[in-house]
Chains A and B, each alone.
Chain A
């Protein structure tokens, strides 16, 4: 069944609109209607934030450990080292995201180039 569905051209668009757009915007709309009624620092919201953070963190480590495409050709330790170095640089310069991203990319490219040549 799932094969049949994934092979039709319109199925990805249904996925994007229902599982992407609706599943995301529904929270924004609820936020508009609930504005001022629920406390933002309540225990419920702390838990909700924890679940969301852990889920996205899971995506992060999957992207580094099991990436799609050409990045998957690099050794796993190089990707881990690049991400770790980026994070350390980010912390070292007073939490500037752009520094973290750039240092990770430069490290990865340098390592990749040295290993390849």
Chain B
């Protein structure tokens, strides 16, 4: 993209001039990491689930690459399995992925070179915002010179996505040859992965309360109000958790 020489910032001119493409490659190399492997195992679990649900290989891969956020992917799979309509499914997926907006917002100040970065570059980069790449970027981008962060992040996000994409495809094809028990165990990977990573990502009591209320209300609404049960679980469970913990935090103000 830009060599760091002509920026006029003295601390950057001492860096060896590596091209934008070079930084993309460095990002892709950094993508070979423990969090990426854990994410891969979760998507391998999703491949098992998608297969059991009756999604084709092409559908599974399109979902992996185009949606690229495991909660949304799993919600969408559930919606398609239960024959949900387009609009309710879109609302459920949108509700499950609102968190991507504050995450992207928090990341932008690190990626942007004010007055220089093109918005469409940021829009492309934003597709890679999902928990794994985001946590890594928030932690490591500040150590890099501002100019190279965007190519580095695109390389990292693209690296993780391609690796997961290929692994999901291979896993999908292997599930058929697996003994049924192994295929079944693979389906359990997704919920346990979420159980752990949601709890780990919880920043305050409100998040944990929301998680507990969702775990309890989900099956109840599924049994008594099937169809839009996920929407109700999210809206009612989430609002309830928010109100109760807000009362704890700040009383009735």
User: Interface on A for B, CB 8 Å cutoff?
Assistant: 2, 6, 12-32, 34-38, 40, 43, 45-71, 73-74, 79, 82-83, 86-87, 90-91, 95, 97-98, 100-101, 104-105, 108-109, 112-113, 116
Bound together, the chains give a CA A49 to CA B246 distance in angstroms of: 13
Which of B25-33, B75-83, B159-167 lies at the interface?
B75-83
Which of B3-11, B13-21, B141-149, B180-188 lies at the interface?
B180-188
Report the minimum CB–CB distance from B133 to chain A (whole Å).
12
Q: With A20-B63, A60-B218, A71-B185 given, name 6 new contacts (CB 8 A).
A: A34-B101, A43-B246, A52-B71, A59-B74, A71-B187, A86-B196
Report the minimum CB–CB distance from A90 to chain B (whole Å).
4
Q: Interface residue count for B (Cβ, 8 Å)?
A: 109
Given contacts A27-B104, A35-B105, A51-B239, contact A108 B188 (CB under 8 A): yes
Contact B207 A50 (CB under 8 A): yes
Contact B206 A31 (CB under 8 A): no
A63 / chain B contacts, CB cutoff of 8 Å: 49, 74, 78, 187-188, 190-191
Contact A38 B105 (CB under 8 A): yes
Report the minimum CB–CB distance from B129 to chain A (whole Å).
5
The chain B residue with its CB closest to the CB of A113 is: B181
Q: Which residue of B78, B103, B204, B207 is within 8 Å of A62 (Cβ)?
A: B78
Q: Which 8 A-B pairs have the closest CB atoms?
A: A31-B104, A57-B214, A58-B218, A69-B52, A55-B234, A35-B108, A51-B238, A54-B214
Contact A49 B207 (CB under 8 A): yes
Q: Which residue of B103, B184, B198, B231 is within 8 Å of A57 (Cβ)?
A: B198
Contact B71 A20 (CB under 8 A): no
B105 / chain A contacts, CB cutoff of 8 Å: 31, 34-38, 40
Report the minimum CB–CB distance from A29 to chain B (whole Å).
6
Contact B55 A12 (CB under 8 A): yes
Given contacts A20-B72, A87-B192, A95-B196, contact A54 B187 (CB under 8 A): no
Q: Which residue of A28, A51, A65, A98 is within 8 Å of B95 (Cβ)?
A: A51
| Main secondary structure on A side of the interface with B | helix
Bound together, the chains give a CA A38 to CA B215 distance in angstroms of: 30
Given contacts A18-B86, A54-B217, contact A49 B210 (CB under 8 A): yes
Bound together, the chains give a CA A12 to CA B53 distance in angstroms of: 13
A60 / chain B contacts, CB cutoff of 8 Å: 191, 194-195, 198, 214-215, 218
Q: Does B151 contact A (CB under 8 A)?
A: no
A53 / chain B contacts, CB cutoff of 8 Å: 198, 202, 207, 210-211, 214, 238, 241
Report the minimum CB–CB distance from A101 to chain B (whole Å).
5
Bound together, the chains give a CA A69 to CA B66 distance in angstroms of: 25
A49 / chain B contacts, CB cutoff of 8 Å: 98-99, 102, 206-207, 210
